[in-house]
Structure 1
Amino acid sequence: MTTLTKKPFYKDLTFQVIAAMLLGIAFGFLAPELAAKFKILGDIFLKLIKTAVAPLVFFTVVQGIASAGDIQRVGKVGLRALIYFEVVSTVALAIGMLWGNLLEIGAGMHNAHANSATAAAATAAVAKGHAPASTLEFIYEIFPDNFVGAFAGGQLLQVLVISVLFGFALLALKAERREVIENGLSRVSECFFEFINLIMKFAPLGAFGSVAYAVGSNGTAVLISLANLVLMFYVAILFFIFVVLGTVCRLAGFSLWRFLKYIKDEVFIVLGTASSESALPRLLQKLEKFGCSKQSVGLVLPTGYAFNLDGTSIYMSLSVLFIANAYGVPMSWEQQLGVIAIMLLTSKGAAAVSGGSFVVFAATVTAIGVLPVEGLALLFGVYRFMSMAIATCNTIGNSVATVVVSKWSGEFCEQTAQVEYERTLGRAPGAAL
C-alpha cells in the first residue's frame, strides 16, 4: 500500500498565494503610496504568463482537433460547446440584470462623483479607443491578416481561428505525415508547459503586488462609497457559481464542490492576480489528467475564454443598472433587453482585449448612448476588486464547461477522473466525485 507523503503547508502554492494576498492587503492599508508602486510585480507576472498563452492555445486546439481523427468528431464537441456557451452566458447576463433590478443597485447615489478628474479622463479614453464594432465588423476582425501578428497582438479570437484552420489542415494530411507534425507540436507544447511551471513559482509575488496596488491606490473612501456594489456583485457571482453551475454539474453527474477542491490552486492564483489567463496553461494540463479527452480540452477550454465569460457577463449587466440608477436614468425592460442583446456580442473576446472586462464594458456603455459616459469613473476605482471575482468566475465556468461538454460528448473517462481526484486530494479509493 502506497502512502502519500504530504509536503509542508508552506510549500503549497495555495497557501503561498493566500498569504501573499493578505500581506498585500495589510501593506496597502499601512503604506498606500508605497504599496501602489508594487503594481509592477503583478504586471511582470502577468506579462510572463501572456507570453505563453497564445502559443499554448494554438498547440492545444490544433492537437485537440488532430487527436479527434476526423472532422465529424470535432464538430460534435465544438457544436455542443458553442450551444452551452450561449445558453450559460445568457443566463449570466440575465442574473446580473435581475439582481440589479431587485436591489435597485446604485439608487440614492445621484450625487456620487468620480474619484478624480484623472480617473474620468482615463475611462473616457478607454471607451473612445475601444468602441464596439457592429456585428459585421466584429466578424471581420476575428479573421487575422497576418499569421504571426495574431500571436504578437495577443488576439485570442484570431489565434483560435488560425488554430482551428491549421488543425483541419493537419487532418487533411496523410496519417504518416500528420504523425510527424503532431509529435513535433507535442514536444514543443511540453516545453511551454514547463516554462509556465517555472513562471508559476512567482505567482505569490504577483498576487502580493496586485493586491497591494489595488488597496493602496484606491484607499478606504472608495471602498466604503462603493461597498454595496462590490458586495452585491460578489453575492451574484457566488449565486451563479454554486446555484447555476452547481445545478449544471449535478445534471452532468459530478460534484461542483469536489471539482473546485481539485482546481483550488488555479482558482486562488486567478483570485490573486485578477487574470483568468494566469490559470489557463495549468488547467489545460489538469483537465486532461482529470479524464477529459485531449480534443475536448483543446477545443472547449480555449474557446470558452473567448465565448463563455460568465463573470464578465454578470459584471456588465449589473454595472449598467448601477450607472443608470446612480445618475437617475430610467431604463425600461425593453431597453434592458436591448442592452443584453448588445452585451451578448460585445462580451465575446473580452479576455483578449487589453484592459479586460472594464474596457469592453466602457465601450458598451458608449455604444448604448443612453447612459452618461462619466458614470464609468464611478466603477473605475473598484474595478480591480471586482475583476478578481470576474476572472475567478470565468475560470470556474470554463473549467466546468470543459468537463460537462466532455461528458455529454462521450469524451470523458470516469475511471481516470477518480484516480486523479484521489491522487491529488489523498482521498480514500472509491470516493464519489
Structure 2
Amino acid sequence: MATIATTPRDDVALQQSAKPARKALWKNLGLQVAVSMVLGIVVGLVWPEFGASLKILGDIFLRLIKTAVAPLVFLTVAVGIVAAGDIKRVGKVGLIAMVYFEVVSTIALALGLLFGNLVGVGRNLDHIAAPAAATKGAEAATKAAAASHTTFDQFLINVFPDNFIGAFARGELLQVLVIALIFGFGLMALSPAKRAPIESGLNTMSTAFFEFIHIIMALAPIGTFGAVAYAVGSNGTAVLISLAYFVLTFYALVILFIVVVLGAVCALFRINIFHLLRYIREEIIIMLGTASSESVLPRLLEKLPAYGASKQTVGLVLPTGYAFNLDGTSLFMSMGVIFLANAYGVPLSWEQEIGILAIMLLTSKGAATVSGGSFVVFAATVTASGILPVDGLALIFGVYRFLSIALSTCNVIGNTVATVVVAKLAGEFDETAWKGAGASEKRSGAPSPKQWWK
C-alpha cells in the first residue's frame, strides 16, 4: 500500500488543527458574573423600583442551587471519608493527620468569626429587611431556645434521622451529614473488593452532581444580575461599599492566617513558612489564575516527596486534606456568616455562634475541591442554621469569584503545610531529600528553600 509523504509544514498544520479551539473570552463564567454585577448595579441605581422587582431571578437561582446541596454534601463527605483509607492500617500517620486537620480547621473557623466581628463586615447594611421566611425562621429559633429546658434534647434528637430518604426529602442537612458520616465509616469496614465498586459508583454519582451544579452555575449571571439589582435598588450604594469591604477584609484575613497561624505551626517544627511558599510558588501562581485547588493536586503529589515528605505520607495526607483540611473555606464560611448576620440585622449570641461553628465543623468537610464547592457548602451551613437569611447567598455569590481566588490558594497552602508537618510528626520526613531538592533548584537557576531571599 502506498504511503503519502508529509512535509514538516503539513505536520505543523496537523498539530495546529488538533489543538482544541481556544474558549471565547465571553464564555468565561467569571467574566459573565462580573458583567452581570455591573449591569445589576446600573439598573439598581438608575431604575431602583424595577431593580427591586428583579429579586425573583435571584430566588430562582437559589432554589436550583438548594436542590443539589443535600445529595452533594452526602456524596462528598462519604467519598472523603473513604479517601482517607483504613486509619488502622495507616496507623500513626492517619491519626496524626486527622487530629491536625480538626485542630487547624477549628482555629480557622474561630478566627473567621472573631475577625468578622472585630471588623464588622456587613454592619453598615443592618437596615436591610430580612425576607419574611428568614424572619419567621429566626423568630421560631429564638422562641424555641427560650421555650423549655428540653430544647437542647429535642435539637439533639432531630440531628439523628429516622429515615434515610426522608432526611433528603425534608432537606434536613444535619441529618444528611450524620448519614454520610456513618455510611462513609461503614464503607471503610468493608473489604477492599466489596468497597471498590461502591466507591467507584459514589465517585461517578459525585461527578454527575458536579455536572448538575455546572449546568445550574451557567444561570449564575442571571441570578447575580437579579440579586445585585434588587440589593442596590432597595438599599442604594451602601451595599456596594459593604461588599467591597467584605472582599478586602477577607483577603486581609487570609494573609493573616497564612503568615501568623500557619507560620507559627511551621515555626514549631523548624520550618520556615516563606521557604515553603517559595518552593510551591509555581502552584500558587496557577491557583491565582484558576481559583481551583484541584488544578495543582497532581503537581503537589509529585513535588512534596522531593521536599522531604515520604511518598506514603504525601499520598495519604494531601488528598485527605482536600476533603478534611480546607482552611480557606473555613475562613470564608465563618466570615460569611458574620456578614449575613450583620447585613440583615440578625443578632447572634455567642452561644449561637458556637452552635454555627459546630455546624461548620461538619459542613466544611464536604466542600468540593473545584471552584464553587465552598459556596455550595456555605449555602448548606446557612440553610442548616435556621437563623440566617438564605436570600443573602445570592448577594455573596456576586463577589464569590474574587473570594474564591484567596480561599482556594489558602486551601492549597494549608494542605502543603499539613503534609510537611504531619510527615515530621510521624518521622516520615527526610532531611537529605529536602536538601537535595534545594540543590536541584539551585542548579536550575532558582534559589533553594534556604537561599530564596538571596
Q: Please, what TM-score do these two structures have when normalized by structure 2?
A: 0.61
Kept in 1: contact 2:116–2:339 (CA 8 A): yes
Return the alpha-carbon distance in structure 2 between the equivalents of residues 265 and 129 of structure 1.
Answer: 45
Q: Which amino acid aligns with 2:202?
A: A
2:202 aligned with 1:150: yes
1:380 shift after superposition: 1.3
Return the alpha-carbon distance in structure 2 between the equivalents of residues 73 and 253 of structure 1.
Answer: 29
Q: Secondary structure at the match of 1:108?
A: helix
The partner residue of 1:84 within 100, 103, 107 is 100
1:73 shift after superposition: 7.3
Aligned residue pairs: how many? Answer: 313
Q: Which amino acid aligns with 1:139?
A: L
- Counterpart of 2:331 in structure 1 is 314
Q: Tell me the alpha carbon deviations over residues 260-296 of structure 1, each in whole angstroms, 9 at most, x when there is no partner.
A: 1110111121221111111111100000111110110
1:150 shift after superposition: 2.6
The partner residue of 2:180 within 119, 135, 138 is 138
| Compared CA separation, residues 271 and 103, structure 1 to 2 (3 A) | same
- Counterpart of 1:378 in structure 2 is 395
Return the alpha-carbon distance in structure 2 between the equivalents of residues 128 and 272 of structure 1.
Answer: 38
Q: Which runs of 5+ in 1 are unaligned?
A: 1-23, 37-53, 66-70, 115-126, 156-212
Q: Please, what TM-score do these two structures have when normalized by structure 1?
A: 0.63
2:291 aligned with 1:274: yes
1:431 shift after superposition: 3.9
Q: Which amino acid aligns with 1:149?
A: G
1:226 shift after superposition: 0.8
Return the alpha-carbon distance in structure 1 between the equivalents of residues 450 and 298 of structure 2.
Answer: 28
2:114 aligned with 1:98: yes
Kept in 2: contact 1:105–1:321 (CA 8 A): yes
Alignment of 1:97-246 (within 5 A): 97-111=113-127, 132-134=173-175, 135-142=177-184, 143=187, 146-154=198-206, 224-246=241-263
Q: Which runs of 5+ in 2 are unaligned?
A: 1-26, 40-75, 131-167, 188-194, 208-220
Q: Which amino acid aligns with 2:179?
A: E
Alignment of 1:297-376 (within 5 A): 297-351=314-368, 355-376=372-393
Q: Which amino acid aligns with 1:136?
A: V
- Counterpart of 2:67 in structure 1 is none
Return the alpha-carbon distance in structure 1 between the equivalents of residues 275 and 370 of structure 2.
Answer: 32
1:84 shift after superposition: 0.5
Return the alpha-carbon distance in structure 2 between the equivalents of residues 322 and 282 of structure 1.
Answer: 35
Kept in 1: contact 2:438–2:450 (CA 8 A): no
Return the alpha-carbon distance in structure 2 between the equivalents of residues 154 and 354 of structure 1.
Answer: 15
1:408 shift after superposition: 1.1
Return the alpha-carbon distance in structure 2 between the equivalents of residues 430 and 374 of structure 1.
Answer: 47
Return the alpha-carbon distance in structure 2 between the equivalents of residues 235 and 282 of structure 1.
Answer: 27
| Compared CA separation, residues 424 and 113, structure 1 to 2 (3 A) | farther
2:450 aligned with 1:408: no
Q: Secondary structure at the match of 2:125?
A: coil
- Counterpart of 2:44 in structure 1 is none
1:223 shift after superposition: 6.4
Return the alpha-carbon distance in structure 2 between the equivalents of residues 294 and 391 of structure 1.
Answer: 24
Return the alpha-carbon distance in structure 1 between the equivalents of residues 301 and 449 of structure 2.
Answer: 25
Q: Which amino acid aligns with 2:435?
A: Q
Please give the root-mean-square deviation of Cα atoms over the aligned residues, in Å.
Answer: 3.9
- Counterpart of 1:188 in structure 2 is none
* Aligned-pair identity (%): 54
Q: Which amino acid aligns with 1:285?
A: E
